[in-house]
Structure 1
């Protein structure tokens, strides 16, 4: 009986592996085509580093557009100035609330635990320890939403701590930490691991804010403009295949992921090696989670109307499922 159970476990494991494997390469386009791709330089999007090489084999030239924030990429997709890009999972609620359908979510990109990053010398071991602490946040960001909804679900008043609004990218947070201006920060990789690797901070591992029912652990989402899905669908399909192929490759080799991460973001390898241990490549997003995100965004006043159904309808991972056989 034990042997039978073991064989069954192995068989199920192999079946799951096959089910998640990226299928064979699609045929190259018959003539050279151009696809405008938005790049946001964060670690969980490291597969973007090798994307152009893969697409070149498919007779697709990439026109690059770099963004610092998901919000900027969302605006570019809505205006049609880029065809595909990564944005935040919560952006579908914002788009739906604006009455637009010109942004289609394709698949998530990765997940990780999200631990509060605390300055060395400051004691934050339990949730109650945040009382009165100066905690840096990026208002409206995906990680801020994770943090805020976790506090709500844990019945912790948002007024427990003193929020410090930090403008700009993650470097500004790291610098504030170095100066001692803040006690802790709600941030994203690779800047979390950078502060820890440089000896200025530590992870408060009992304060994980990635597991709220409302937001979940998803770090980002690949999306296409509605126009691109209508007029360049085969290019979008090949973009998604190339991304998922590279993602699958990096997910199997942590050293290779850390190396790609370093080259993509320009950060030292000693930082990206630590960060790569935290991030699990491969999306965990689904329609139900998109709906819960939209519902929470409405209840918290982030969007002004309930677009739970409309936001979920903007997420279509059928193409990704076709690619992953």
Structure 2
């Protein structure tokens, strides 16, 4: 979908509902000459919907963008580590994971959004408090961003994670919905759009009494944009213009929840009613801090997820200054 179309949708939706917060940007940076090419790896999840319009905005700034689609954050992390892409949408814990594996070529640039996170519970199953998790078949994607959030939260709630009946789900988000449809699980710890899909299909409900985005160790961040160290060092001005373009699209599609829902539908291919449900529970913004990621790293080393505590090393694997340079102060 073109930027003009996205902007038109945003304008029309603004008339129908209150505007959301936007990021104040500096004037568009001068175009690079000659143009610089960047290869982006993107997972088609709702919280990186701004990638859908980035190429059109970046082109007049002298940045030629190629977007390559991936299914999982882990695959994007691997592609960044190998240098086969230069920019990618990754999970909030992917930089600590990479560093713990001695992969030192990925640099975090900025967060992408936040959302409350609730268990998706099969209709007919009662889940009123954290203790009710005992005895339930809890589906998780091991090593995923939401699993980090969930494990940290239940630990802080004094739930013995080792006593939970955990069902590991592989292969992306759709298998969660399929497992629930078969009756193989009682609840799942997942991500959008698959949470809303299970609800829209009449399989489950969202238990809003329990929010696993509230742990001190992890928080509500949905993901981040990362880049290779080589791109940060050799294509910094191109990255700066890419980030400006991303935030420009983010502002346009965040004009209202209707606009955001339309943009999510255009990016993911979701039915409009599912995309709207996703938009209602999500905010695109850049509040991620290095301190937050350091807390994650310390906690997951303590839990045995990371083989070593890499928190002290993490500042050298983040460069928030590129984002900060395009935001008006």
Structures share fold, TM-score greater than 0.5: yes
The corresponding residue for 1:87 is 90
Corresponding residue to 1:265 among 256, 265, 268: 268
**How many angstroms does 1:57 deviate by?**
1.9
In the alignment, is residue 212 of structure 1 matched against residue 215 of structure 2?
Answer: yes
TM-score by length of 2: 0.91
Instruction: Encode CA deviations 1:247-275: one digit per residue, 9 max, x unaligned.
Output: 12222221111111011111101001011
The corresponding residue for 2:135 is 132
**How many angstroms does 1:319 deviate by?**
1.4
What secondary structure, in the 3-state scheme, does the structure 1 residue paired with 2:50 have? Answer: helix
The corresponding residue for 2:168 is 165
In the alignment, is residue 320 of structure 1 matched against residue 309 of structure 2?
Answer: no
**How many angstroms does 1:225 deviate by?**
0.3
The corresponding residue for 1:64 is 67
The corresponding residue for 2:16 is none
What secondary structure, in the 3-state scheme, does the structure 2 residue paired with 1:301 have? Answer: coil
Corresponding residue to 1:105 among 105, 108, 112: 108
In the alignment, is residue 301 of structure 1 matched against residue 308 of structure 2?
Answer: no
TM-score by length of 1: 0.92
Distance in 1 of aligned mates of 2:209 and 2:21: 35
Structure 1 runs (4+) deviating above 3 angstroms are: 17-20
The corresponding residue for 2:10 is none
The corresponding residue for 1:256 is 259
Question: Are the equivalent residues in 2 in contact too, given 1:250–1:256 (CA < 8 A)?
Answer: yes
Deviates more, 1:295-304 or 1:237-246: 295-304
The corresponding residue for 1:35 is 38
**How many angstroms does 1:20 deviate by?**
4.2
Distance in 2 of aligned mates of 1:92 and 1:34: 24
RMSD: 1.6
Instruction: Encode CA deviations 1:147-203: one digit per residue, 9 max, x unaligned.
Output: 001111111011343111111011111111111111100000111011112211101
In the alignment, is residue 243 of structure 1 matched against residue 246 of structure 2?
Answer: yes
Distance in 2 of aligned mates of 1:107 and 1:127: 32
**How many angstroms does 1:65 deviate by?**
1.5
What secondary structure, in the 3-state scheme, does the structure 1 residue paired with 2:319 have? Answer: coil
Distance in 1 of aligned mates of 2:61 and 2:292: 33
Corresponding residue to 2:288 among 285, 289, 293: 285
In the alignment, is residue 198 of structure 1 matched against residue 201 of structure 2?
Answer: yes
Q: Which runs of 5+ in 2 are unaligned?
A: 1-19
Distance in 2 of aligned mates of 1:138 and 1:184: 12
Question: Are the equivalent residues in 2 in contact too, given 1:41–1:68 (CA < 8 A)?
Answer: yes
Q: Which runs of 5+ in 1 are unaligned?
A: 1-16
- Number of paired residues? 309
Question: Are the equivalent residues in 2 in contact too, given 1:137–1:164 (CA < 8 A)?
Answer: yes
Distance in 1 of aligned mates of 2:98 and 2:136: 34
Instruction: Encode CA deviations 1:4-46: one digit per residue, 9 max, x unaligned.
Output: xxxxxxxxxxxxx999412111111112321101111000011
Alpha-carbon distance change, 141 to 198 in structure 1, aligned in 2, over 3 angstroms: same
The corresponding residue for 1:7 is none
Question: Are the equivalent residues in 1 in contact too, given 2:115–2:283 (CA < 8 A)?
Answer: yes
Alpha-carbon distance change, 281 to 18 in structure 1, aligned in 2, over 3 angstroms: closer
Question: Are the equivalent residues in 2 in contact too, given 1:117–1:204 (CA < 8 A)?
Answer: yes
Corresponding residue to 1:73 among 76, 94, 103: 76
Question: Are the equivalent residues in 1 in contact too, given 2:23–2:251 (CA < 8 A)?
Answer: no
